[in-house]
């Protein structure tokens, strides 16, 4: 007891005051959770009577099921677009390009075939006119049968012109005046030469047309193509090479015969211009120029296998040149010398004519490009068929709907 009384009394006032203060301090209101429409609200009986407004729920987020559905639809659409895009890029576009390429090749080769066929037809007409062949037989058949016209028929205009020029010179030579005026024969002595020149010009024009189409074909195959048409591109490239060679040789042949017949026309014109001895110098100058024209004919533009025939032309012009040089030198001052010189000239001329028969026909039958027209034509047909197969293999109904055919 004494011990209890002896203990000092503790001052509990601050503690009690602290408890009182903490119990009476108002607590800040806590935010009420969102109340949904189906929330049950309990109202205490002591609650002040009044109207309790329940706020409507505002959902700012899409329900999970709806989000999942949208994602599925988006995946389907995206996948479909990828599939369609891949199909267009890897299937439709390549097929479309292949069909377009094959169609262009087929159409262009068809046009090229038409053009080269016209060139060949014109070459046949010229060949028959030169050799005076009347049979209804093609140039290819002549080449296959190895038919050789007679020497008389193979005499081209230039040989006839040379012969007539020398003969008229002989007939009009006079011991006192050397040369009298020449009587130009009735009719057009250049009619045949002009006809042959026109035929050759026609070949040249048609060869130019064929070359334009062949260049278009070359431009087509110069572009990159899909792997599915590389074989068609290769075969077309080979066809272009063959066609180019054929057109080149046809053009060179046309140009050569144009020059040849122009030379023939110049010989006839030369004969008609000889009116006195003073004209002999002009004749010699003209003959020397013509001889040089063929002797120095550009080798690169001579048709293949025509070199021997060209040498014959140079020789006949040289014979004429020597004949006229003898006239100018006064070597033909007697009738006997005139006859002898003319006889030697004609003998030599006939020898050249006989040799030229073989040489000219040899050119037409041995020029590899000209004689291979039938092979060229067959190759053109093969490439067109191959192009059609490529077109069919790559065709697709959507391409027709898109206007690609």
Region 368-374 average pLDDT: 92
Region 1-19 average pLDDT: 49
The mean pLDDT of the chain is 76
In this prediction, residue 34 has a pLDDT band, given cuts at 50, 70 and 90, of low
In this prediction, residue 28 has a pLDDT band, given cuts at 50, 70 and 90, of low
Question: What pLDDT score was predicted for residue 5?
Answer: 46
The count of C-alpha atoms lying within 13 angstroms of the C-alpha of 265, restricted to the half-sphere facing its C-beta, is: 16
- Element containing residue 78 per DSSP (H, E): helix 64-87
Question: What pLDDT score was predicted for residue 375?
Answer: 95
Q: Is 5 helix (H, G, I), strand (E, B) or coil?
A: helix
Question: What pLDDT score was predicted for residue 67?
Answer: 66
Pairing of strands 173-174, 178-179: antiparallel
Nearest 5°: the CA angle 385, 387, 389 is 70
Higher pLDDT, 60 or 241: 241
Judge whether residue 46 has pLDDT over 60.
Answer: no
Tens digits of residue pLDDT in 349-370:
888 888 888 899 899 989 999 9
Judge whether residue 175 has pLDDT over 50.
Answer: no
- Element containing residue 158 per DSSP (H, E): helix 157-172
Judge whether residue 191 has pLDDT over 70.
Answer: yes
Question: What pLDDT score was predicted for residue 155?
Answer: 45
Judge whether residue 109 has pLDDT over 60.
Answer: yes
Judge whether residue 182 has pLDDT over 50.
Answer: no
Tokens of 214: 């062949």
Question: What pLDDT score was predicted for residue 151?
Answer: 37
Give CA 125 to chain center in angstroms: 27
In this prediction, residue 379 has a pLDDT band, given cuts at 50, 70 and 90, of very high
Higher pLDDT, 212 or 352: 212
**Lowest mean pLDDT: which of 41-55, 65-79, 130-144, 198-212?**
41-55
Percentage of the chain with pLDDT > 90? 36
Region 164-188 average pLDDT: 56
In this prediction, residue 4 has a pLDDT band, given cuts at 50, 70 and 90, of very low
Max mean pLDDT range (127-141, 172-186, 386-400): 386-400
């Amino acid at each position: 007891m004494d011990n209890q009384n002896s203990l000092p009394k503790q001052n509990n006032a601050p503690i009690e005051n602290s408890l009182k203060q903490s119990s009476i301090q108002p607590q800040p209101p806590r935010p009420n959770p969102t109340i949904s429409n189906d929330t049950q609200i309990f109202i205490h009986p002591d609650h002040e009577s009044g109207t309790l407004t329940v706020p409507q729920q505002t959902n700012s987020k899409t329900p999970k099921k709806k989000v999942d559905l949208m994602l599925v639809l988006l995946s389907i659409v995206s996948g479909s677009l990828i599939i369609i895009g891949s199909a267009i890029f890897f299937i439709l576009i390549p097929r479309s390009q292949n069909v377009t390429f094959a169609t262009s090749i087929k159409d262009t080769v068809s046009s090229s075939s038409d053009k080269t066929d016209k060139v060949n037809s014109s070459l046949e007409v010229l060949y028959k006119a030169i050799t005076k062949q009347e049979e209804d037989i093609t140039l290819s058949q002549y080449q296959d049968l190895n038919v050789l016209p007679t020497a008389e028929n193979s005499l081209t205009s230039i040989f006839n012109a040379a012969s007539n020029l020398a003969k008229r010179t002989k007939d009009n030579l006079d011991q006192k005046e050397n040369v009298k005026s020449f009587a130009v024969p009735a009719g057009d002595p250049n009619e045949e030469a002009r006809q042959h020149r026109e035929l050759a010009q026609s070949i040249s024009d048609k060869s130019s047309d064929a070359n334009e189409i062949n260049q278009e074909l070359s431009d087509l195959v110069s572009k990159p193509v899909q792997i599915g048409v590389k074989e068609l591109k290769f075969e077309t490239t080979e066809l272009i090479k063959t066609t180019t060679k054929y057109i080149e040789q046809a053009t060179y042949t046309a140009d050569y015969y144009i020059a040849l017949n122009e030379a023939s026309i110049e010989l006839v014109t030369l004969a008609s211009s000889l009116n006195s001895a003073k004209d002999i110098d002009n004749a010699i100058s003209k003959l020397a120029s013509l001889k040089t024209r063929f002797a120095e004919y550009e080798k690169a533009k001579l048709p293949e296998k025509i070199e021997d025939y060209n040498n014959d032309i140079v020789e006949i012009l040289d014979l004429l040149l020597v004949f006229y040089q003898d006239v100018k030198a006064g070597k033909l001052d007697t009738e006997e010398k005139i006859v002898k010189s003319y006889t030697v000239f004609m003998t030599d001329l006939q020898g050249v004519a006989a040799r030229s028969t073989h040489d000219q026909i040899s050119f037409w039958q041995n020029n590899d490009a000209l004689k291979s027209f039938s092979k060229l034509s067959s190759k053109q047909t093969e490439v067109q068929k191959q192009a059609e197969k490529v077109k069919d293999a790559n065709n697709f109904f959507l391409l027709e709907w898109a206007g690609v055919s």
